[in-house]
Amino acid sequence: MVLDLRVCFVGESFVAGVGDPRCLGWAGRLAARATAAGQPLTYYNLGIRRENSTELRARWEAECTPRLPAGADCRVVISTGVNDTQLEDGRPRVDPGTSERNLAGILRRAREKGWQTMVVAPPPNVDDEHNARLLALDARFADLCDEAEVPYLRAHQPLRENQIWMRDVAACDGFHPGATGYDEFAALLAPHWLLWLADPGSELPVVR
């Protein structure tokens, strides 16, 4: 019997794969790696460009519920925060405390629904001041996920030190990479992703 494994990826433009001429992003690449490794799944990309965590919290459950039926092995991968930390009128679009509460609310509701969750850190861009805000939010998210016993993949710093990612982002719009950058993002996440699919209760090594 083939396991009915269903995974919803929710978040913003990086989940949606903006900038990728192959229209996969890192989420589509992870789904492809799973099937190549012999783990069939049904993959749903629910990324929305420019969405912040408040907007995500308002819509994610309604979109995931019909895609994650009772009786299936239901998973949700969450990535948010880049748009929260963008400045509008000199202030972040979403303050860090609210961002943290939004993610906590999503994780709490997913647990109530019986859905396994994983959180992927917001990636870096070419703006150093923006990256500093992202690193601060990354630390908050990491502590929250540790307390909630939810896997959190701290991909921000490894990608910031990845010359291929940073060069590809700079060659595009300063925020999103092309296919090469998304290849790097997916390769960074893939070992932890495949382990989580095989055993969601396993203690994943921290990506640093």
103-144 confidence digits (pLDDT tens): 999 999 999 999 999 999 999 999 999 999 999 999 999 999
Query: Average pLDDT over the chain, rounded to whole?
Result: 95
40-84 confidence digits (pLDDT tens): 999 999 999 999 999 999 999 999 999 999 999 999 999 999 999
Q: How far apart are CA 154 and CA 162, in angstroms?
A: 14
- What pLDDT, on a 0 to 100 scale, did the predictor assign at position 129? 98
- What pLDDT, on a 0 to 100 scale, did the predictor assign at position 2? 55
44-56 confidence digits (pLDDT tens): 999 999 999 999 9
- What pLDDT, on a 0 to 100 scale, did the predictor assign at position 200? 79
Q: How far apart are CA 29 and CA 37, in angstroms?
A: 12
- What pLDDT, on a 0 to 100 scale, did the predictor assign at position 3? 82
Note the pTM of the prediction, 2 decimals. Answer: 0.95
**Where do the domains of the chain lie, and which CATH numbers do they carry?**
5-198 (3.40.50.1110)
- What pLDDT, on a 0 to 100 scale, did the predictor assign at position 43? 97
Q: How far apart are CA 75 and CA 77, in angstroms?
A: 7
Burial grade of 23 (CB within 10 A; 0-12, 13-18, 19 or more): exposed
pLDDT band at 201 (very low <50, low <70, confident <90, very high): confident
Q: Inform me whether the pLDDT recorded for 203 exceeds 80.
A: no
2-28 confidence digits (pLDDT tens): 589 999 999 999 999 999 999 999 999
Give the sheet arrangement for strand 42-47, strand by strand: 42-47, 5-11, 73-79, 116-120, 152-153
The set of residues, in sequence order, having a beta carbon less than 8 Å from that of 13 and lying 6+ positions away, is 19, 47, 48, 49, 50, 51, 82, 175, 176
Q: Inform me whether the pLDDT recorded for 206 exceeds 50.
A: no
